[in-house]
Amino acid sequence: MDELDKDDGIAVVLLNRLTEERLPRALAIKEQVDRGELLNDSEINFLEKVFEDAVANRSQWEHHPELAEIISKMAALYKDITEKALANEENSKST
């Protein structure tokens, strides 16, 4: 297996994890924060792990510019989640 095949294989695995595991959970968390709910430790740990993995695998995504759109949309989703979660947390402390 040459380096290009290995690189493509890693990208496929990362993309599958993103679309089949992380996206559904992120969308569920987004619905939760949109309802004004707070995040629990498990959800916060999930978001932290996803961010850590994104940083660690950045070079993989850079080698596959065709995936830039989905990566950008996922980043926007996580940004929305964290902003809304922070607002919910602040609102819960003021009431």
pTM across the whole model: 0.82
The predicted-structure confidence for 28-41, as pLDDT tens digits, reads as follows 999 999 999 999 99
Contacts of 43 (CB under 8 A, 6+ apart): 29, 32
Domain ranges within the chain, ordered by starting residue:
3-94
The predicted-structure confidence for 55-87, as pLDDT tens digits, reads as follows 777 776 777 777 778 888 888 999 999 999 999
Cα–Cα dist 84/26, whole Å: 13
Cα–Cα dist 58/52, whole Å: 10
